[in-house]
A and B are shown apart, each in its own frame.
Chain A
Amino acid sequence: MKQKMDDVQHAGKFQKVGIVLAIAFYILSVIMVIRNYGGMSVVFDPDTKVITIAHWQLEDGFREGIDAAIAEYEKAKAAEGVKVKVRQIAVPVRGYQQWYLTQLIGGEPADLLEITGSSDILNQYFTPLSPYIGEKNPWNKGTPLANMSWRESFADDMLSALDTAYSEFFAVCTFMHTTRVYVNLDLFEEATGKKQLPDTLTEWLDDCKKMKEYGIKTERPIIPIGVRGFDKGTLGQLFGNYNSQLNTDLSDTGSPYGYGVTPGDLFHQINNGELDKKRLLEPVEVVTELGQYFADGFPAIDLEQTKYLFFSGNVGFFIDGTWNAFSMIQNAPFRVGVIQIPMLDKKHPLGGKAFGRITELGSGIGGRFGIPKKTKQFDLALDFLRFLTSWKVNQLVMVEHCKWMSSLKEVEYEGIMKTFEPITNTSRTSVSSPFTGTGTLANRLTLQRLENAIINQPKDPKQFFWDDFLSVRPKLVEEVQESNAGVLRTLWSMDGSRSALAIGVEISAPGSKEGDLYRMRSNINLEGIVSRFKAIDNNVEVIKEMEKLEEYGKNGN
């Protein structure tokens, strides 16, 4: 009987604990819901308007920068008598695409989203911003951008944000990046015995050689140049950079239509004996030479592993975009220097023909944010987007917190950020290699071929590269043919846009702003079709000329 009583008492105690736990979980859930929704002030104050901004930028400083901008914005709106709460959601890039599509399809997306995906997705789910970009950004009052339209206030006049398939701006850009070489200064000084960082390729190769020898002498696994071998990102950056340094002059004379040159033009010149194919192969030689100083297993090393190796102190130089600069400098247990990719110089056997560094002006502008059509707070979302891309606030977020460059004009940089600024003290622009310029497959196969050249170190890397290029020619031709079919498919879509815009013009009141916008977009659409005609003709030309190319040592030598 006593045993029974004890059991009942125990059961009663457990029940009480269970009830207490259930209540505690309930209270915790309520707190979490309130917190996630924006806090007590939002839940219990129906006048407070809430908007959400979502992105995939998890780099150091970005979220903190957005938080700082949010605090400023809420304060500014409160001063206007408007109660606003802005929430920030950061989603890792690997899951962002699915999360983003689910949000958009689900019909209740964040009010401001960092955009990704095809033009069709943007057109279906995002608000066209063309009606607003011609207006001044009210948050730029009293700044050097005060008299510019929103569009003109961007360093590239918003061209990076234009969706050419739909002739529309679905987003605006928030930051800018360049590619730089990060240097472990401690290792550099120990290994080379000097403080002056390399400016030329000859100096760089010499420093790498010394680092390698230093590793052998000190029995340390020193890797002079750390590369993202797995996705071949660094190979592409180096190949593109040295190709431009060696062949940028082809843009002056290569095309009958204007400045710049296409793969078809270059192959045509080779077939006509006007251009030596060896010239186009010289960048292969440079990258193969640099490749001696990569890690032995570089093709299997990805970005995170490279960063880990750099932080471990065994990598001398690490090439990457400035998006990683802050975390590289901040988190490394040694001093980090930043330099531009060294320039081909007269002392190098190929340097006599090189043109020096290439400008980076107008490139690398990204971080596009748009407003979904389903937002319930369009005016507020637009206002916050303008706030985020205003002169002072964009610098607060990007420059002060992230150590990233702003996408806007009239921004001055100081200290280490001076080294990130786009190269301007040159008169040359980049030119794409005909080996990478005909499509994504061509680009991938070129990088694979470079990787093979680095691993095998053939006697004549140029011939090795050319022979392999010709061996995959049928695949490359097929890719260009498929690209042309893609252009024709795009022309169908563009006619859909033409039709919709024509109806838009028809139903708008004469002289209305809406009508003017439809008319402008209709012209953009037709101008875009001329570009598509050019693309089709270029593709036809490149196929014709690619098929005529001969073995190494024959035409074009």
Chain B
Amino acid sequence: MFKPLWIFAVTFAGAGLAAGADSGPVEKDVAPAALKAYAAMNYTQAGKLAKKIPDTPEGQLVSGLCDLYDRSHQNIGRGQQTLARLFHNDKTPLPCRIEAGVALGRTAQLMKERRDLYGTAADRYDHIRIFDTVCKLAPGSRAGRDSFFYLMRERLEDPRQRDAAFKDLEAYFRDFKGDKTLLPPLHLLAEYEYIRLRRDYKTAVRHLMEGYEIGFANPNENRGGLFRLAFLYFKKLNDKPMALKYFNEYLIRYPYSGQAVVAKRFLQELGEDGADK
């Protein structure tokens, strides 16, 4: 009698272990694994893991985000509803709530910009209020910066809001208490919009210089930004000492770039005209 029972016991234990192995990480590890897979943009794995923890904020967040961004299983309506529930619930842990808000606000904003495709489907979400709330919930944070960035572009596009938007932009930089390395993309936007909408080269160059001094993350932007800085000082502001400084810096940093030959030509022109302002 003993042997068959032992065989049964071992078989069931083995089956149990096998089932356990199939189910992947144990419950407490599922949420971090889902978030990690999502961060790696492995939507298939992230979505699968999120389905195992549907009652947790992390599971709901990852499911909602996969619904929006996983183009192989996209369900925008469902994703936005999930994120809206998370965002409007005060009890949602703050990091989940904030990310739900930014993603909901941005996708609603993009859908409103493409009414030919989405019609009024996103009108139920007030993306401006959502972005404003994120900015208040997480001032000086990455999410706050992103929300402000998206709002700013929209407000600058509207002639009635433009002046106020430029004032708010300057106030944002002045009052910013967070990590300064978050600011270069906003400086880049400010540089572009000051030229596009006001041809205000002085302010545009100030923003470009501040962004460059902190450092753009994209090496291409860092290189282009440095050349632009020198160029704008030279051709638009007629500030020769600053143009000389930045063209020389460009040649030291990027001697192999295509624009190095142009920098040399401009330096010659600056030399011929004299370096005095």
B-binding residues in A (CB < 8 A): 123, 151, 155-159, 162, 164, 166-167, 251-253, 256-259, 359-363, 409, 424, 426-430, 485, 488, 491-493, 495-507, 518-524, 526-530, 533-534, 537
Contact = CB atoms under 8 A, between A and B. Distances in A.
A521 B217 contact: yes
Contacts of A164: 218, 220
Interface residues of B, number: 59
B122 to A, nearest CB: 12
Nearest to B204: A257
Nearest to A151: B219
Given A156-B256, A164-B218, A529-B149, 16 more contacts: A359-B261, A361-B256, A361-B260, A427-B265, A488-B114, A495-B106, A497-B41, A499-B69, A500-B39, A504-B40, A519-B142, A524-B218, A526-B149, A528-B218, A530-B188, A533-B192
B170 interface: no
A491 B153 CA distance: 13
B195 A256 contact: yes
Given A521-B217, A523-B182, A500 B106 contact: no
B216 A259 contact: no
A373 B254 CA distance: 32
Interface in B152-209: 153, 181-182, 184-185, 188-189, 192, 195-196, 199
Interface of B is mostly: helix
A527 B264 contact: no
A493 B110 CA distance: 11
A167 B218 contact: yes
A64 B37 CA distance: 41
B110 A507 contact: no
- Nearest 3 A/B pairs, CB to CB: A496-B69, A523-B217, A427-B265
Given A157-B254, A530-B189, A533-B192, A506 B99 contact: yes
B198 to A, nearest CB: 11
Nearest to A248: B262
12 contacts: A157-B223, A157-B256, A361-B256, A361-B260, A485-B114, A499-B69, A499-B102, A501-B39, A503-B38, A519-B181, A529-B185, A530-B192
A428 B228 contact: no
B92 interface: no
B232 interface: yes
A506 B38 CA distance: 12
Contacts of A527: 184-185, 188, 216-218, 221
Interface of A is mostly: helix
B257 A503 contact: no
B49 interface: no
A495 B99 CA distance: 11
Contacts of A524: 217-218, 221
A157 B146 CA distance: 28
Contacts of B106: 495, 498
Nearest to A128: B40
B151 interface: no
Interface of B: 32, 35-36, 38-41, 65, 68-69, 95, 99, 102-103, 106-107, 110, 113-114, 142-143, 145-146, 149, 153, 181-182, 184-185, 188-189, 192, 195-196, 199, 216-221, 223-224, 227-228, 231-232, 235, 254, 256-262, 264-265, 268
A502 B40 CA distance: 11
B258 A526 contact: no
Given A429-B261, A499-B102, A527-B185, A507 B36 contact: yes
Nearest to B215: A523
B261 A424 contact: yes
Contacts of A493: 69
A427 B269 CA distance: 12
B264 A427 contact: yes
A507 B227 contact: no
Contacts of A505: 142
Contacts of B254: 157
Contacts of A501: 39
Contacts of B185: 523, 526-527, 529-530
Contacts of B258: 359-363, 429-430
Contact of B103 (A151, A362, A499): A499
Contacts of B65: 499
A98 B107 CA distance: 34
Given A162-B220, A507-B35, A257 B192 contact: yes
Given A156-B256, A424-B261, A523 B99 contact: no
Contacts of A361: 256-258, 260-261
Given A156-B257, A502-B142, A527-B216, A258 B41 contact: no
B103 A518 contact: no
A506 B100 CA distance: 13
Q: Which of A158, A485, A498, A534 has the most CB of B within 10 A?
A: A498
B146 A498 contact: yes
B57 to A, nearest CB: 13
Nearest to B268: A427
B182 to A, nearest CB: 7
A528 B217 CA distance: 10
Contacts of A252: 235
Contacts of B143: 502
Nearest to A518: B39
Contacts of A258: 224, 227-228, 231-232
Nearest to B199: A256
Contacts of A424: 261
Q: Which of B145, B184, B228, B258 has the most CB of A within 10 A?
A: B258
Nearest to B219: A157
